[in-house]
């Protein structure tokens, strides 16, 4: 609510792109998401809600949103929760702003590779190859926007194996200072990509900025290769064609922390203005204090601080049926 008041409410002259993770790890995920959905209904061409990795069945069952819905909606909780899961499936994975800014929750994604397949005796000439996304580090290559457009996104949980890996990459990947593309072994899903890949992605698609989110102060606290998330944003890659920015809009995150020492990070949002829309104007803000007392909807003392150590076997990679 503070961010909307500070930035100015959505209008035809003020278009918002929200970058996912509206729920979990706090007491008001339901109200936050409903407020943004209400703005989307009211001004559908002025408010865009991208999907984050927490808009999934697995994360919401671990980090509190499922239980929050059950408590607040009581007997109707299960039905309402299923409606939210269907909503999550339909959220777009990424956006292009003004033709020059790529925005996605995690970041970039792998492309399909052409793999040789066994050719049957009756196979027709020219049909000896098959294409599919690769999960082999030695054959990883950068994906195209056309491949992103064609990716199947209607999954309750983004697959970490199989043929439909692009959604998982877009929602779970992280930047690195090391060159190239590699599997994100720390998270067990998605990719790590270096400055050279940022340059390649910007150059190939005639873009100037990548704006992603996904890493709060707790995640960055475990990474010593990148800047800490103290100010609500970091510039992770500065290359010839432009910049890669990580933007995190939740101040004093997470709301519930097992440790006595809090991160006390600022939140931030970016304003992109004409004529080029490629010069980010950063606005930082602190959490409204004192924070009202609230009830956690998950056991934050036992659940890991960040979502880097995933129980991938618990993910449901199917589609919902209701």
Q: Is the pLDDT of residue 61 over 80?
A: yes
* pLDDT score of 116: 53
Phi, psi values for residue 280, rounded to 5°: -70, 135
Q: Is the pLDDT of residue 36 over 80?
A: yes
CA-to-CA separations, 18 to 36, 122, 270, in angstroms, rounded: 9, 52, 11
Reported as a single tens digit per residue, the pLDDT across 73-118 is 999 999 999 999 999 999 999 999 999 999 999 999 999 865 555 4
* pLDDT score of 302: 84
C-alpha–C-alpha distance, residues 309 and 305, integer Å: 9
Q: Is 54 a catalytic residue?
A: yes
pLDDT interval class at 260 (50, 70, 90): confident
Structure tokens at 127: 């049909």
* pLDDT score of 318: 52
Measured in whole angstroms, how far is the alpha carbon of residue 173 from the centre of its chain? Answer: 8
* pLDDT score of 315: 75
Q: Is the pLDDT of residue 32 over 80?
A: yes
Q: What is the mean pLDDT of the chain?
A: 90
Reported as a single tens digit per residue, the pLDDT across 140-152 is 999 999 999 999 9
Instruction: Tell me which residue of 49, 45, 46, 19 sits closest to 34, measured CA to CA.
Output: 49
Structure tokens at 107: 């970041």
- Tokens 């983004």 sit on residue: 158
Q: Which one is catalytic: 54, 105, 214, 237?
A: 54
Reported as a single tens digit per residue, the pLDDT across 161-219 is 888 999 999 999 999 999 999 999 999 999 999 999 999 999 999 999 999 999 999 99
pLDDT interval class at 259 (50, 70, 90): confident
pTM: 0.91
C-alpha–C-alpha distance, residues 165 and 152, integer Å: 9
More confident residue, 315 or 102: 102
pLDDT interval class at 137 (50, 70, 90): low
List Cβ neighbours of 23 (8 Å cut-off, separation of 6 or more). Answer: 29, 30, 32, 33, 54, 55, 60, 64, 65, 68
- Tokens 């931030």 sit on residue: 268
Range in 41-50, 126-135, 231-240, 261-270 with the lowest mean pLDDT:
126-135
């Amino acid at each position: 609510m503070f961010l909307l008041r500070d930035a100015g409410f959505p209008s035809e002259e003020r278009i918002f792109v929200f970058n996912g993770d509206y729920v979990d790890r706090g007491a008001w995920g339901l109200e936050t998401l409903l407020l943004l959905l209400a703005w989307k209904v009211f001004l559908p061409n002025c408010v865009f809600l991208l999907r984050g990795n927490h808009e999934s069945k697995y994360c919401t069952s671990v980090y509190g949103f499922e239980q929050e819905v059950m408590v607040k909606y009581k007997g109707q909780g299960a039905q309402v929760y299923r409606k939210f899961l269907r909503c999550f499936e339909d959220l777009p994975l990424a956006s292009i702003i003004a033709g020059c800014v790529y925005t996605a929750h995690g970041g970039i994604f792998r492309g399909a590779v052409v793999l040789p397949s066994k050719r049957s005796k009756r196979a027709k000439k020219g049909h000896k190859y098959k294409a599919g996304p690769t999960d082999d580090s030695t054959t990883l290559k950068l994906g195209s926007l056309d491949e992103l457009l064609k990716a199947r996104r209607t999954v309750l949980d983004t697959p970490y194996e199989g043929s439909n890996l692009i959604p998982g990459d877009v929602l779970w990947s992280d930047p690195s200072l090391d060159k190239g593309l590699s599997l994100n072994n720390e998270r067990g899903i998605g990719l790590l990509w270096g400055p050279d890949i940022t340059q390649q992605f910007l150059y190939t698609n005639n873009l100037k900025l990548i704006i992603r989110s996904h890493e709060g102060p707790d995640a960055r606290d475990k990474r010593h290769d990148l800047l800490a998330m103290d100010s609500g944003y970091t510039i992770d890659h500065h290359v010839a064609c432009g910049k890669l920015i990580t933007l995190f809009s939740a101040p004093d995150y997470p709301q519930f922390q097992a440790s006595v020492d809090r991160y006390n990070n600022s939140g931030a949002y970016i304003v992109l203005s004409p004529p080029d829309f490629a010069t980010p104007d950063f606005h930082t803000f602190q959490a409204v204090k004192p924070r009202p007392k609230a009830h956690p909807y998950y056991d934050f003392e036992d659940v890991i601080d960040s979502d880097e150590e995933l129980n991938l076997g618990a993910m449901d990679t199917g589609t919902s049926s209701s």
